[in-house]
Chain A
């Protein structure tokens, strides 16, 4: 992965400055969502596709600033490739760009992805010209297969969706980062700002999160913390951390001590 002096990154042909992608679910209301999105500095925000609620006139598209945020439709709640493809075809009809978050769930309790169905759906969507960002398990082989199909990124989970358990398996994420030739986006599991920092220190390109911000006591403040945590982790990754050693190594000179 190459980085310009401003440290931008590229996703599906878009040049981005923010390495934080945020969801728009689980907020109290539109105002709380808007404030958190603004504080996060995100340029891409995820949305879900659902039947219109005829009683609810406050449509997301009427208050979200689509000139500021690229909407990334997801396939949350889809358990088969067919459902996911159907959902994203409808999402495209809503006039949003070709960028889509593919998630095919395999189990309601863990919300772990069904990688087999995800690969199947990715193939169909790529053939139809979608720019596919797939949510997947943190498995280097699945990531390699998704990349080989032509996905614009891979999005391994760090812990179950909405769990806030943090980065459970740094080693495997690191293996995925080392082999990937497309952006790696940690999708799901972050609970607080240090988790986002840890992910970025591993060298991933971005982090996608929703619950960690939406379910904080003060979502907008947490969004800001996440933004800062992402920046700190990115800088630490670029800086290259010191080697860890088992024993102390004095920082002050050992010579010239008074006697």
Chain B
């Protein structure tokens, strides 16, 4: 269980805590924290695609469901 005071999202199906400061909760910031390059991923927030250009101004909210995907080997 997460305390209600700690904002958290579901990141690829797993709980992920957000920074308390809203300014730190952008997608750009999250990708940076996770060590992911924006040009190597696509992001869906609550089932809606977030265009790459909007990462800096997209602030994540408590309870958001985020999918971060990339290409892997496949046939």
Task: Name A residues whose Cβ lies closer than 8 Å to a Cβ of B.
Answer: 23-27, 33, 46-54, 57, 59-62, 71, 73-74, 76, 86, 89-91, 93-96, 161-162, 208-211
Could you list some 14 contacts between A and B, CB below 8 A?
A: A24-B74, A25-B72, A49-B69, A50-B71, A54-B35, A60-B73, A74-B74, A74-B75, A91-B42, A91-B71, A94-B41, A94-B42, A208-B75, A209-B75
The chain A residue with its CB closest to the CB of B68 is: A52
Which among A33, A52, A94 is the interface contact of B36 at CB below 8 angstroms? A52
A73 and B49 alpha carbons, distance in the complex (Å): 17
Interface of chain A: mostly helix, strand, loop or mixed: mixed
Size range of the interface on B? 20 to 34
A105 and B51 alpha carbons, distance in the complex (Å): 28
Which among B47, B49, B69 is the interface contact of A52 at CB below 8 angstroms? B69
Asked if A26 meets B51 with Cβ closer than 8 Å, knowing A51-B67, A51-B68, A94-B41, the reply is: no
Contact of B42 with A27 in the complex, beta carbons under 8 Å: no
Q: Which of A48, A161, A162, A209 gathers the greatest number of chain B CB atoms within 10 Å?
A: A48
A54 and B13 alpha carbons, distance in the complex (Å): 13
Given A24-B73, A52-B36, A94-B41; 13 other pairs, CB 8 A cutoff: A24-B74, A26-B73, A48-B71, A48-B73, A48-B75, A59-B40, A59-B71, A73-B71, A86-B47, A90-B67, A90-B69, A209-B75, A210-B75
